[in-house]
Chain A
Amino acid sequence: MADYRVIYITDTSTGTDDTTGAANGIFLDKRFTVPTDRLWRIENIQVTAITAGAVGNRELQLTIDRADASDTEPYVDIRAGVVQAASLTRYYSFFPEAARLTSFADTDWLSTPIPDIEIPSGWIVRIFDNAAIGTTAAPDDMDIRMVIQQRAAKN
């Protein structure tokens, strides 16, 4: 296989599914599909979550699954484990070496470890609010930056 190279991925779109372009509209939810003939290894996922006024506690969840973003039993299932209420901005870092924090440091930053795995082509990395609190009238917003090791999956 080919050697890896590092790529940056940015998604600052508002309420839009990055993979399909279909508007999911309301709550924090973004998905990234490993491209054809490529393998990914995640070095860091940085999330800026901005919640609107809809009352409720959001909780970020990160799943990695085989071409399915709605599987109830994904291959990887990571929970931030700390909730975020309405009308707040919080920063989340998901990376393999991370210490698991159980409360926000400096009021707004949380780190969560993820497995250091190679993700096959076609698999989906999804970051979302598993409480689905946001509403159409008051949509939450989530910006994501990823640092990815990518390599070709064919010789």
Chain B
Amino acid sequence: MSEWRTIYLSDSSSGSAKDFVVPTDRNYRIESILATLVTSAAVTARNVYLAAYTSTDDVTQPLFRANAGVNFDPSLTHYIEFSGSTVRVEGDGLTDSGWTHVTIPVMEALPGTYFFVESFFAADGATGIEDDLGIRALIDIRGTKDST
């Protein structure tokens, strides 16, 4: 296999869920995913989680799942940091009025692995007013074949 290098991944399109797939002949290791959640005015508690599945065809049993464990209020901007190397901020203890941290496993993801970040409840159509959730990720990547 080749050496690790770091790539940046950004998705600020509208919608309350974001996803990405590990490319063919590549392995990923997540260093950090910062999710920026802009909640709508709908009065309902949102939760946010990050999950990884073996593929886009197999989304019932996750390889891992990590919930923020925070009820995110409406009409605010929240920042959720997913990383394997910092300490979890638990419960509703948001820091600096909108920042929280979720510890995730430092794991190497194989080609085809499907990563999914979602603000749920809002995505369930409880109010019809969808949140916006954007992500910026730092990812270690390496080739899985000697020639890549």
Contact = CB atoms under 8 A, between A and B. Distances in A.
A46 B53 CA distance: 11
Nearest to A109: B67
The contact size tier of chain B is: 20 to 34
A93 interface: yes
A147 B64 contact: yes
Given A106-B49, A145-B62, A97 B85 contact: yes
A112 to B, nearest CB: 11
Interface in B69-112: 69, 84-85, 87-88, 90, 103-110
Nearest to B47: A106
A111 B107 CA distance: 15
Given A8-B54, A44-B64, A145-B62, A109 B105 contact: no
Contacts of A101: 69, 90
B32 interface: no
Given A8-B63, A93-B64, A109-B49, A99 B90 contact: yes
B61 A97 contact: no
A117 interface: no
A68 interface: no
Contacts of B136: none
A6 B66 contact: no
B37 interface: no
B69 A3 contact: no
A95 interface: yes
A97 B104 contact: yes
Most chain B beta carbons < 10 A, residue from A5, A93, A143: A93
Given A48-B61, A111-B66, A95 B107 contact: yes
B27 interface: yes
Contact of B105 (A5, A12, A43): A43
Interface of B: 1, 27, 47, 49, 54, 61-69, 84-85, 87-88, 90, 103-110
27 contacts: A6-B27, A6-B107, A6-B110, A8-B54, A12-B61, A43-B108, A46-B63, A46-B65, A93-B64, A93-B65, A95-B107, A96-B105, A96-B106, A99-B87, A99-B88, A99-B103, A101-B90, A105-B68, A106-B49, A106-B69, A108-B67, A109-B49, A109-B66, A109-B67, A143-B61, A147-B64, A147-B107
Given A99-B90, A145-B64, 17 more contacts: A6-B109, A8-B110, A12-B61, A43-B105, A44-B64, A44-B105, A96-B106, A97-B85, A99-B87, A101-B69, A105-B68, A106-B49, A109-B65, A111-B88, A111-B103, A147-B63, A147-B107
